[in-house]
């Protein structure tokens, strides 16, 4: 198995695939070596960056030079898009691509198109519009109304390190540095919805959901809640969210695994659909720990001849309280540097982070029998200073 991408989901996938009996290769990450430190990784491919024009040709050459590769599994938006663009050359080599079909990936990555699909399918979607560039942002914002959330429209794009920015008024937007938005390209603006973030991890075949696992998100690595998840828990199915995910799967005729994201008002039982990621979530190790075999389901549902899984034991799923402590403390430092939080908020965040680290059932990258990736995450900056060429590679 060749895993494209070297982030948290790559580590979870490598560990799970190795337990299933596969040899695992991952792409190298010279900026911050990570999954290649896992004992479950047999090979490391020094690939060009995903955005490099040479990547596609290099991938085909690597596959041709390694005929024992039976499947390729992308774990990031950039890698999904790259495989969509090179679908035919890869499947002509009898390589199984562990991802949804290209048409589904394109639809899920079209943020406004997905909101249109969700609206037609009967889901709740607050008013939204697209600003084609920074110059049109203010006028589009006034059209949508305040408060609102601004997100880059292009998958994988951010405002610096921010996934989204919330504005409570036109005056607040007018006072924000416009340079932040100029490199983002088109932006999606949506009326602000008050609710806690919920994720639904699911597997579907031809529009029918065959398994799902719901999760409640407690905190992110940003003070406004817009960042990456650092703490949450698995929960029993939320009927309203389950209904929405089933409706979306039918509308898309979805085959494969994915992660649907919502905001949910627990008192009013109202919700706001955010997006579907047609891949594993970054912290999905907690889904595997709860008992949903998401990696295996991805393999079964991949390719031109997907296998409909026969599942049992959903009633025996575990409650898993998970935490990503590295992201938690990195987020705290980030917000302190940006002066987004005061002393009291800083102390409260630190207490919550320490408490979560002590009480959590699962740290998303940690494994007692495979500790090195997590250790090297914390030592990453020191390693890059001492060995600027990256970590020593395992023999290929």
Verify that 83 and 9 share a domain, yes or no.
yes
Verify that 105 and 75 share a domain, yes or no.
no
Verify that 27 and 60 share a domain, yes or no.
yes
- Indicate the number of domains in the chain: 3
Verify that 144 and 225 share a domain, yes or no.
no
56-65, 148-157, 280-289, 351-360: least confident range: 148-157
In a domain, 396, yes or no: no
Q: What is the pLDDT of residue 338?
A: 87
Mean predicted confidence (pLDDT) in 294-304: 92
Q: What is the pLDDT of residue 396?
A: 41
DSSP 307-318: -------GGGPP
Pure H helices in the chain:
8-19, 55-65, 77-85, 87-91, 102-109, 111-120, 137-144, 170-174, 179-182, 239-252, 285-290, 294-300, 325-337, 343-359, 372-378, 380-386
In a domain, 248, yes or no: yes
Verify that 168 and 277 share a domain, yes or no.
no
Residue 354 has pLDDT above 90, yes or no: yes
Is 63 in contact with 69 (CB distance < 8 Å)?
yes
Verify that 251 and 207 share a domain, yes or no.
yes
In a domain, 392, yes or no: no
Q: What is the pLDDT of residue 371?
A: 97
Verify that 116 and 132 share a domain, yes or no.
no
pLDDT band, very low/low/confident/very high, at 386 (cuts 50, 70, 90):
low
Q: What is the rounded CA–CA span in Å between residue 57 and residue 69? A: 16
pTM of structure: 0.89
Verify that 161 and 209 share a domain, yes or no.
no
CB < 8 Å & 24+ apart, contacts of 111-115? 111/151, 111/153, 111/155, 111/188, 111/275, 112/153, 112/188, 114/275, 114/276, 115/190, 115/273
Q: What is the CATH number of the domain that holds 340?
A: 3.30.470.20
Verify that 203 and 213 share a domain, yes or no.
yes
Q: Which domain range does residue 105 map to?
A: 99-124+193-386
In a domain, 335, yes or no: yes
Verify that 176 and 308 share a domain, yes or no.
no
Structure tokens at 71: 């499947």
In a domain, 6, yes or no: yes
Q: Please state, for a pLDDT cut of 90, what percent of the chain lies above it.
A: 80
Verify that 47 and 177 share a domain, yes or no.
no
């Amino acid at each position: 198995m060749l895993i494209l991408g070297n982030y948290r989901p790559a580590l979870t996938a490598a560990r799970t695939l190795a337990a299933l009996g596969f040899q695992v290769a991952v792409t190298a990450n010279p900026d911050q070596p990570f999954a290649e430190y896992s004992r479950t990784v047999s090979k490391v491919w020094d690939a060009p960056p995903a955005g490099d024009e040479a990547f596609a040709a290099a991938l085909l050459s690597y596959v041709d030079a390694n005929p024992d590769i039976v499947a390729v599994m992308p774990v990031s938006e950039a890698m999904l898009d790259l495989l969509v663009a090179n679908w035919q050359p890869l499947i002509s080599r009898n390589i199984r691509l562990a991802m949804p079909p290209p048409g589904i990936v394109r639809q899920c990555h079209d943020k406004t198109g997905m909101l249109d699909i969700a609206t037609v399918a009967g889901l709740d979607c607050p008013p939204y519009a697209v600003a084609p560039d920074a110059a049109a942002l203010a006028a589009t914002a006034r059209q949508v109304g305040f408060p609102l959330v601004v997100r880059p429209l292009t998958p994988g794009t951010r405002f610096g390190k921010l996934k989204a920015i919330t504005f409570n008024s036109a005056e607040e937007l007018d006072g924000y540095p416009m340079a932040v938005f100029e490199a983002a390209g088109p932006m999606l603006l949506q009326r602000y919805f008050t609710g806690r973030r919920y994720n639904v991890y699911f597997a579907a075949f031809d529009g029918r959901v065959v398994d799902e696992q719901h999760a409640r998100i407690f905190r992110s690595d940003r003070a406004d809640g817009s960042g990456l998840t650092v703490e949450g828990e698995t929960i029993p199915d939320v009927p309203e969210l389950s209904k929405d995910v089933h409706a979306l799967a039918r509308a898309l005729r979805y085959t494969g695994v994915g992660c649907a994201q919502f905001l949910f008002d627990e008192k009013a039982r109202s919700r706001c659909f955010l997006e579907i990621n047609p891949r594993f979530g970054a912290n999905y190790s907690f889904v595997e720990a709860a008992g949903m075999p998401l990696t295996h389901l991805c393999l079964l549902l991949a390719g031109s001849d997907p296998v409909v899984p026969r599942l049992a034991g959903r009633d025996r799923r575990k409650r898993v309280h998970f935490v990503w402590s590295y992201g938690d403390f990195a987020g705290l430092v980030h917000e302190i540097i940006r002066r987004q939080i005061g002393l009291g908020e800083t102390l409260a965040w630190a207490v919550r982070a320490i408490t979560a680290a002590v009480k959590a059932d699962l740290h998303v990258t940690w494994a007692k029998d495979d500790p090195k990736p997590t250790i090297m995450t914390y030592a990453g900056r020191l390693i890059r200073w001492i060995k600027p060429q990256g970590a020593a590679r395992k023999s290929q």
